[in-house]
Amino acid sequence: MRRTLRVSLISIAFATACASDVVYVEDTVPSAPRGLEASYYAGSVTLSWEMGAAWNGEAFRVYSRRITDSRWFLIAEVTSCIDEFCVYEDINVLGGQRYEYFVAAVAPGGTEAVSGTVEIAVPEPIAPPVPDAPRVIALDNANYLVWGEASRAASDFSHYRVYFQDGSTGFLLGETDSEGFLDLLAANGSTYEYYVTAMDADGHESAASSLAGGTPRPDFTGEYVYDWFVAPQSSGFRFQEDDGAYPILAGDDPRRHFRLETDVNGWWLVPGADAAIYPVGFPTTALKCGVAADAECVDVVTAPSSGYVAEGVPLAAQESYVLRVVGDDAQLHYGVVRVTLLGFDQADTPLMIFDWAYQLQPGNPALAPARGG
């Protein structure tokens, strides 16, 4: 390794000097950085490199220029690296420009050993279209958000971010590449507001969608089950007599009255061993139309007397499906399931959100809500 000797003279007060007043600074040629790489994301260029094989604690200087510039600019000094690996993030970049970088290891005397150069293009920061206004479906201790596909019009669309709005502050809940998100942190009796943004492959984030709110509540609306083939432990359902009993079962539990399945042909309600289903769904606007319902409300008042099958029936949203099942008393009961939504959660797992009612009196085809509902 080449060594040079730099000598500096320090003047001593009272104009006296001696040999000890001469300070010798040894200047070595450091080991050059290796493997310089550059990447762009979300408005910044990240540089990474490895320390030289003979690195001896030297600091690093980062140099940059636009390819249209004639000279290089020192933009940073890096003194802290981890496991022989160094990183620097340059946020002072402009869209539509190309930049060059190199890194130099600096000896105590100022001698530099430089890496090779790396070049990178910084794209224009054009974000995807703002997501459609989300809709919130309140569930039992959860909220489900769903929105349209407007943001997918961008050729470089990547995914969505879902935020919880608390006063004037937004908090990131999670990310998803589907138009649905299940917030399992929401608690019954509290109102939550949300908005959604869209991200492109380069990390550019759109403006926020409009706000949408929902209030989870403990009742027989907003139940949900997952697809048997993806989440079997949460795909089965059994009608219950009151809200103190949890109705969700594993899809292979012999007590289930039905489970959800999906395939290339759609969504299916598949009855269990002690259940049969009427093979046609009824278009409805509500599970039950009460005395305060509007004049256009449509529900299923009475279960069909015959025609039930023990095979899967295709599902459609906003339709009600009637089942004839064996209850806890070992007698036949009727129940109804109204499909609110067929969609996907943030992990792209198919799910069905639905309301349900169960007739407690054996053999009575009147589809009254369950006790306590």
CATH code of the domain covering residue 208: 2.60.40.10
Query: Are 112 and 159 within one domain?
Result: no
This prediction has a pTM of 0.70
Query: In the chain, what's the furthest Cα-to-Cα distance?
Result: 117
Which residues span the domain enclosing 73?
Answer: 28-122
Assess whether pLDDT exceeds 70 at residue 329.
yes
Query: Are 95 and 164 within one domain?
Result: no
Tell me: the pLDDT tens digits for 116-146? 999 999 999 999 999 999 999 888 788 999 9
Query: Are 108 and 163 within one domain?
Result: no
Assess whether pLDDT exceeds 80 at residue 244.
no
Query: Are 114 and 146 within one domain?
Result: no
Average pLDDT over residues 14-31: 58
Assess whether pLDDT exceeds 70 at residue 260.
yes
Query: Are 281 and 322 within one domain?
Result: yes
Residue at a domain's end among 167, 183, 214:
214
Query: Measured between alpha carbons, how far is residue 18 from residues 12, 22, 24, 87 in Å?
Result: 9, 8, 14, 46
Give residue 18's pLDDT band: very low, low, confident or very high (50, 70, 90): very low
Query: Are 334 and 295 within one domain?
Result: yes
Name the residue among 113, 97, 93 with its Cα closest to residue 105: 113
Residue at a domain's end among 76, 92, 122:
122
Query: Are 96 and 143 within one domain?
Result: no
Query: Are 297 and 341 within one domain?
Result: yes
Average pLDDT over residues 159-173: 95
Q: CB neighbours (10 Å) of residue 211?
A: 15
Query: Are 168 and 271 within one domain?
Result: no
- Answer yes or no: is 86 within a domain: yes
Query: Are 249 and 139 within one domain?
Result: no
Tell me: the pLDDT tens digits for 23-72? 555 668 899 999 999 999 999 999 999 999 899 999 999 999 999 999 99
Name the residue among 338, 336, 333 with its Cα closest to residue 353: 338
Q: What is the pLDDT of residue 222?
A: 87
Token representation of residue 206: 């759109």
Q: What are the residues whose beta carbons fall under 8 Å from the beta carbon of 92, sequence distance 6 or more? A: 75
Residue at a domain's end among 122, 150, 179:
122
Query: Are 209 and 231 within one domain?
Result: no
Tell me: the pLDDT tens digits for 281-326? 999 999 987 656 678 899 998 999 999 999 999 999 999 999 999 9
Number of domains in the chain: 3
Backbone angles phi, psi at 233, to 5 degrees: -70, -15
Average pLDDT over residues 229-253: 92
